[in-house]
Amino acid sequence: MTHPMLGAPAILFILFSGISVRADDCTPSRCSLDGPEVRFPFRLKSRQPQHCGYNPGFDLYCNEQNETLLALPFSDKFKVLGIYYDLQEISLYSTTSCYPQLNLSASSFRLSPGYDLESYTMFKCSTSHLRLSEYNCQSTSTYTIYAVPSYYILDPFSLVSCTKLSKVYGALTSLRLPWFEPACGSCESRGKTCSMKNNIRGPELLCDNQPMEKNGNVHKRLSVSGEQVIHFLRLRINNLKLFKTRYQECTQVADPFAGEILGPFLFVVTLACLYRLYASTRANKEHQMKIESFLEDYKDLKPTRFSYANIRKITDEFSEKLGEGGYGIVYKGNISSEIYVAVKVLNNSHGNGEEFVNEVGTIGRIHHVNVVRLVGYCADGFRRALVYEFLPNDSLEKLLFLEGPKRSPLGRQKIQDIALGVAKGIEYLHHGCDQQILHFDIKPNNILLDHNFNPKICDFGLAKLCSKEQSAVSITAARGTMGYIAPEVLSRAFGRVSNKSDVYSFGMLLLEMVGGRKNVDRSVDTSQVHFSQLTYNRLSRQEISVSIEEEDDDESKNIVRKLTIVGLWCIQWNPSDRPSMKSVVQMLEADGSNLTMPPNPFPATNAPNPIARMPGRHHHIELEIISE
């Protein structure tokens, strides 16, 4: 029994389902190994079909010496020295005569702005003229040919022995001509391939990522040979024979109505798959349009926009990896011999470009000594990267939590300086910008250190912008890193989310800086697993110890006590009990002798000190909500 729903589609599927390469008769070509690469919009007439070029004006050919030549209408032949596809320029050299004729009226090329076609006048002189440029190719023992630029002002009597020959169009021997159509320069500069497709509406330029195969300095497109096609078709014919045999066996025992059921089912499944592909493609395009619209709005922030080709060059093809996180990989690069940068190549599998927009929209407007500087960014299709200033001493986390016999190189005073710098950076985010910026991910790994160990806050992928007049924000889901997330971010039972959430994260950071260990340490007994709780109990019993470089003098103890008290104030569970970052900066700048012990952040803890059992102050303040 024949099932029409399964006939042609099944055969086509079997024939072409495994195809992974395609024939390309427009493969880039050269007249010689050291000749320029010829590809769209140019073509070699003897080797490439007509559709490989933009129009006949871009036709090139090879001579007997395997030189690449361009023949323009009503002009002499020119040797092609080079083709600069990203700049849309071709470099030419006259090979026919001393007086090259160049007419661009019927060609696709134009002169560069300010370039004068009739730039030289040729003179044949019987006497020598030292002030003029001799043109040796036509000079003889009886007369000399001179080329006089048209802007020269000469004494007419000095040319009495000379005869004017002709005007020379263009340069005497070589020139560079730009072309403006087709406009493929921006496509080529991004490392992509420009091509043309003929549609019903007419020719359409394409900019795609066609795979390239590297062979020395020559890049060739992947193509399919005739033998490969024949071998592929033989395999598919064998598959078709096997399919026919299996199909006949199945139809002999199958329900006669199976085809009537299976056909519509496959049709519905195919439609569903096509719709899903269409919806996914449309969503991706919408995300791309949103990002491009955002970048257009924020182009005045002054960070440089790099192409993906620039990023590859800056990072030396991503040769030196600095680190890796949930949103991408960070590579070291250099813009010049003295300017080094850190390039974060974002992972496309996370979000819809939200982290990219957050970073550019927040850090792009910030200029503070304690906030990392955004040098530029790349948004090339779905390939996105962020370019930051390079900080040689890595992150605070790698210096705080050294394992084994290694000790942190940070002394008591430097720890205090780093804490104060981070506090000033956060205070600037909250109150120093046109809009309030909430970071939501303050932690040691997001504090980078420059060559003098000065701290700089980085990673604004989770940040939120809001008005300075607003005192709370609404978020749709918890954001941040466990161990540093404020209670109200996890549950609204503890209060509204506000800039006090960053204060809590900073408090956890301070306690880790003092103790030299993470606030959640799974290697210790479970009864002491919460490090901040342990710290409060020890401080209330006057048992706080100094772990910074094993210094045990009074000054070290005072610094540790001050940082610990400030940290405990910052991690109060009720947001209204926490100080503002401005107050935190003031406490860190003071000597610390007048700091009072904070309430116990853990009311259930049985601390021996009565101060530790002081109830927290629960002020219920109505806060205005900001929608995301």
> Which string of DSSP letters, residue by residue, matches 413-445?
HHHHHHHHHHHHHHHHHHHTSSSEEE-S--SGG
| pLDDT value for 429 | 93
The CATH fold of domain 298-389: Phosphorylase Kinase; domain 1 (3.30.200)
| pLDDT value for 49 | 85
| pLDDT value for 558 | 87
Spell out the residues 6+ positions from residue 591 whose beta carbon is closer than 8 angstroms to its own.
Answer: 558, 562
Strands 436-438 vs 464-466: parallel, antiparallel or unpaired: antiparallel
CATH architecture type of domain 396-613: Orthogonal Bundle (1.10)
DSSP string, 186-235: HHHHTT-EEEEEEETTEEEEEEE---EEEETTEEEE----HHHHHHHHHH
Answer for the pair 408, 436: CB distance below 8 angstroms, yes or no: no
| pLDDT value for 382 | 76
Shared fold status for 298-389 and 396-613:
no
Question: Burial level of 121, CB count in 10 A (0-12/13-18/19+)?
Answer: middle
Answer for the pair 611, 597: CB distance below 8 angstroms, yes or no: yes
Question: Burial level of 149, CB count in 10 A (0-12/13-18/19+)?
Answer: exposed
Strands 304-306 vs 374-380: parallel, antiparallel or unpaired: parallel
CA distances from 608 to 47, 525, 544, 611, 617 (A): 91, 21, 15, 9, 20
Domain ranges for the chain, please list them. Answer: 4-17+232-281, 24-117+170-209, 121-169, 298-389, 396-613
CA distance 475 to 491: 11
- Each residue of 16-59: pLDDT tens digit? 444 333 335 688 889 988 889 998 889 898 888 888 888 878 89
| pLDDT value for 124 | 81
Q: Where are the beta strands (DSSP E) in 495-611?
A: none
Spell out the residues 6+ positions from residue 379 whose beta carbon is closer than 8 angstroms to its own.
Answer: 291, 292, 295, 305, 356
DSSP string, 91-111: EEEE-S-SS-----TTSSB-P
Give, as one character, the DSSP assignment of residue 577.
Answer: G
* Residue-level length of the chain: 628
CA-closest candidate to residue 602, choices 512, 538, 559, 547: 538
CA-closest candidate to residue 151, choices 113, 118, 125: 118
On whether the pTM is more than 0.85, the answer is no
Handedness of CA 153, 156, 160, 166 (dihedral sign): positive
Q: Which residues are annotated as a binding site for ATP?
A: 344
Q: Which residues are annotated as a binding site?
A: 344
Answer for the pair 428, 368: CB distance below 8 angstroms, yes or no: yes
**Which residue numbers are catalytic?**
441
Answer for the pair 372, 457: CB distance below 8 angstroms, yes or no: yes
CA-closest candidate to residue 498, choices 320, 359, 329, 624: 624
Regions of the chain where pLDDT drops below 50? 1-23, 114, 116, 211-236, 239-240, 242-243, 246-247, 249-251, 253-254, 257, 294-295, 297-301, 349, 521-529, 546-550, 605-628
453's tokens: 């160990």
- What percentage of the chain's residues is helix, strand, coil (to nearest 5)? 35, 20, 45
